[in-house]
């Protein structure tokens, strides 16, 4: 619509994008907040123990996943039922590269950073994951910087050679975050099993 592409280039890019979506199984469903124009993840967990146990178990889980609580805790208050943590994981994803006229696929890895906001109410925990960003290498100087997940979306804002990597990175990130939410829920609910030996 901006006129950057003529009709022939537009048809070719549209065809390439449809083929990519077919290969990747479609576009990932993203929790996109229209008000903030940000991708956000939110999970509501049903758990069985009381608030004190939930609070303690979230902290134990975070220590196992992310290391020292002193290093990852932004905020922690039992009376308000609020814990804010920073976390990270490595995400592996498929990526296309071009070398002269040959295109090839490889597996890439980036470290993904995020902020977790846990809110405990009765036997429920709201997990909001925001500030999702990726560490990227810049050139041959071993310098790194971060880009927000919002810079990856929408996929078609980047050059077509980056579409596969950006799309798979969004898929893999969502899968990791869903597993983390399931993992913290299981850890909270299995509190009695830890002491049955």
Inter-CA distances, 80 with 51, 100, 139, 166, 191, Å: 10, 58, 45, 38, 21
Q: Which two tokens stand for residue 169?
A: 């990175």
Check residue 138 and give its pLDDT: 64
Q: What is the CA radius of gyration of the chain?
A: 20
Question: End-to-end alpha-carbon separation of the chain, Å?
Answer: 66
Q: Hey, where are the domains in the chain?
A: 34-189
Inter-CA distances, 39 with 83, 97, 170, Å: 21, 26, 10
d(CA 143, CA 145): 7
What does CATH list as the number for 34-189?
Answer: 3.30.530.80
Q: What is the pLDDT along the chain (197 residues), one digit of tens a residue?
A: 566 666 776 677 777 788 878 887 877 788 888 888 888 899 999 999 999 999 999 999 999 999 899 999 999 999 999 999 999 999 999 888 777 777 778 888 899 999 999 999 999 999 999 999 999 876 666 778 888 998 888 877 888 888 888 889 999 999 999 999 999 999 999 998 888 88
| Beta-carbon count within 10 A of 174 CB | 18
């Amino acid at each position: 619509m901006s006129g950057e592409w003529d009709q022939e280039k537009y048809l070719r890019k549209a065809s390439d994008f449809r083929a990519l979506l077919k290969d990747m199984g479609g576009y990932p469903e993203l929790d996109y907040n229209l008000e903030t124009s940000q991708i956000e993840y939110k999970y509501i967990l049903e758990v069985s123990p009381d608030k004190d146990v939930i609070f303690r178990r979230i902290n134990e889980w975070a220590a196992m996943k992310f290391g020292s609580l002193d290093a990852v805790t932004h905020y922690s208050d039992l009376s308000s039922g609020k814990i804010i943590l920073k976390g990270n994981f490595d995400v592996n994803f498929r990526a296309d590269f071009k070398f002269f006229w040959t295109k090839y696929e490889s597996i890439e890895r980036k470290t993904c950073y995020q902020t977790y906001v846990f809110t405990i109410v009765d036997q429920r925990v709201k997990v909001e994951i925001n500030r999702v960003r990726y560490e990227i290498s810049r050139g041959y100087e071993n310098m790194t910087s971060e880009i927000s997940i919002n810079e990856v979306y929408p996929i078609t804002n980047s050059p077509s050679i980056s579409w596969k990597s950006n799309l798979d990175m969004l898929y893999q990130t969502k899968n990791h975050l869903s597993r983390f939410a399931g993992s913290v829920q299981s850890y909270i609910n299995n509190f009695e099993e830890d002491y049955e030996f």
